[in-house]
Amino acid sequence: MPPTGTVMRVWTGWIRSTDREAYQDYLEQTGLGEYRRTPGNLGAFAAYAEQGDECEVRTVSFWRSFDDIRGFAGDDIARAVFYPEDDRFLVRRREDVEHFVLA
């Protein structure tokens, strides 16, 4: 478990269920990989919930501070970061992210 005071960043999107494996590979190369390479990141993973033909995806990352998140996301940490091939996979997406401080 990450230490108290750690910031958890959560983003949600939806893909076609048939794209799950390919999307996980893509996420490892883009968002999850970039999270993990950013100083101050304490770990990241993706979670999936099948919903018929669609699959809800949540990326969850843990950070030492909001300043460390800025190192990944830029000044507007409430906005999601997207990559050039995202439109190939995402059928819907949240444009924002949620942040929680662990107690």
In this predicted model, what pLDDT tens digit does every residue of 15-33 receive, in sequence order? 999 999 999 999 999 999 9
The mean predicted confidence, pLDDT, of the chain is 97
Domain boundaries defined on the chain: 7-101
pLDDT at position 2, please? Answer: 83
The percentage of residues in the chain with a pLDDT greater than 70, rounded to a whole number, is 100
In this predicted model, what pLDDT tens digit does every residue of 36-48 receive, in sequence order? 999 999 999 999 9
The region, left, alpha or beta by phi > 0 then psi within -120 to 50, assigned to residue 5 is left
Average pLDDT on 91-103 reads: 98
User: What 3-state DSSP class applies to 47?
Assistant: strand
What's the pTM? 0.94
CA distance 88 to 57: 15
Q: Determine the CATH number of domain 7-101.
A: 3.30.70.100
CA distance 9 to 63: 8
Helix (H) or strand (E) holding 80: none
CA distance 51 to 56: 7
